[in-house]
Structure 1
């Protein structure tokens, strides 16, 4: 089942934005919760007949945290090579793939994949959403130009909560 816009969870996301000081494990769970909500608050073009797939590259611990947060048996896979990225609707590029960002983006082309970057470099290099650790907690930035290029529609509610929209 493909996630659609969802108003629920916005209050929880706003609460997460405001509250800092989380331990490393809590930060990992917080990242996973954000990523899960990003999928719910994004609309994809008509999907092929397959289940929604979350993919994580370069951060195995985040994959496990996402598995704990995701509901209804979401399909979550770890990728080590960009060639398999086409199976994803949402792709998280962790710090472990920092040097290979261009290869991942080239493999995806213009596919309707919501790319979430965990590093400032990934956001500057074309990720749709950049997760950013700030002194007061976790925040995110949205590249609306890239989301439109990929045929994705980010909900207005999420755009309002973003630290930056470009």
Structure 2
């Protein structure tokens, strides 16, 4: 769990150093691990890293007040077609809050309604299913995270990408702003690529 601990360590002093350590750990993933027969999802280590990233993303997003039913409502993460990532998120939520809120994790299938969520993570889907799943999402107040190079074009604010066998992430500022979200400069500082960045 050393990789996981690096990714979700408290505080942002030395974030670049921790991010580099995380990415170095990800370099050990020469290829995504194969799930056991009959099990959907990515390999265990990859799932841990992505879950840690998702938690970190949520910690550095500013949501509009109306995104939550009340000041004490939990932050809900919906996971589509990525069971191992959902399992890792469920482990994290047992001991970690996000911005003082308890965390709830829901597992969905492609096309399921995703009302009442603040984070929507969609595992690797083909273009058509990905587009339909994003279109079914509420939009406003939702941080949509996708998996794979080029998936920002489908409408997500953040997408995981593999660079030299390392898990990195790209950001679309336009898609985040469209949904009323503000991404912290500290998170943007460690992104692989930022679309819509002002010169």
TM-score, with structure 1 as normaliser: 0.85
In structure 2, what is the Cα distance between the partners aligned to 1:99 and 1:64? 26
Distance across 1 between alignment mates of 2:80 and 2:46: 18
In structure 2, C-alpha distance between the alignment counterparts of 1:121 and 1:94, rounded to whole Å: 14
RMSD of equivalent CA atoms: 2.1
Q: Does 1:89 align with 2:138?
A: no
Equivalence for 2:28: 21
Query: Which sections of structure 1, spanning at least 5 residues, go unmatched?
Result: 1-6
- Map of 1:52 onto structure 2: 75
Q: Is the 8 A contact 1:98 1:121 kept in 2?
A: no
- Give the total of aligned pairs: 160
Shift of 1:110: 3.4
Instruction: Tell me the SS of whatever aligns to 1:120.
Output: coil
1:101 matched residue in structure 2:
130
Q: Cα offset for 1:48?
A: 2.2
Q: How does 1:31-70 map to 2 (within 5 A)?
A: 31-46=50-65, 47-49=68-70, 50-70=73-93
Between structure 1 and structure 2, the one with the greater Rg is: 2
Choose between structure 1 and 2 for higher RCO, CA contacts under 8 A separated by at least 6 residues.
1
Structure 2 partner of 1:12: 18
Q: Where do 4+ consecutive residues of structure 1 move more than 6 Å?
A: none
> Which residue of the other structure, out of 162, 174, 178, is the alignment partner of 1:149?
178
Decide which moves more: 11-20 or 150-159.
Answer: 11-20
Residue correspondence of structure 1 range 151-166 to structure 2 within 5 A: 151-166=180-195
Gap runs ≥5 in structure 2: 1-9, 34-42
Cα distance in 1, alignment partners of residues 63 and 75 from structure 2: 11
Higher share in helix: 1
> Aligned residue for 1:4?
none
